[in-house]
Amino acid sequence: MERKYESMLIVRPDLDEDERKNVFDKISDKITNLGGKILESKIWIKDRNLCYPIRSRGAEKKKYNKGLYWLVNFALETEKLDDLNETVKLEEKILRNIIIKRSKD
């Protein structure tokens, strides 16, 4: 069953424009490759101060006090959501993420 989801991702603020675009493209491509549709994708807030420092994932253990908030609305089959979650968790340039089911529009 296909559902609509909303995802908020906090991306490292020190990425240049090309690195940022690569992260956005990787996640967007994963959604479409899983048979989903991107309904809306936008940078919500650039360089927002965080309430507490967030440590980056992976080998580089750097703390960030700011983050770039990227908002993505998409439709995807429910059984394919775990594959998308795994891809997001493995991307070291994403500090935090959340995916929620949208209520009926």
For residue range 22-61, list pLDDT tens digits in order.
999 999 999 999 999 999 999 888 877 778 878 877 767 7
* Pairing relationship of beta strands 2-11 and 37-55 according to DSSP bridges: unpaired
Collect contacts of 17-20 with beta carbons under 8 A, ≥24 apart: 19/93, 20/68
| Strand arrangement, sheet containing 2-11 | 37-55, 63-77, 2-11, 94-101
Of 104, 82, 94, give the one whose Cα is nearest residue 3.
Answer: 104
At 72, is the pLDDT very low, low, confident or very high (cuts 50, 70, 90)? very high
| Structure confidence at residue 45 (pLDDT) | 81
Query: Could you state, in order of their start, the residue ranges of all structural domains in the chain?
Result: 2-101
DSSP code of residue 62: -
State the architecture of 2-101 in CATH terms. 2-Layer Sandwich (3.30)
Write out pLDDT tens, residues 62-71. 888 888 999 9
Q: Which residues contact 90 (CB under 8 A, 6 or more apart)?
A: none
40-54, 70-84, 89-103: the lowest-pLDDT one: 40-54
pTM: 0.85
In 3-state terms, what secondary structure has residue 49?
strand
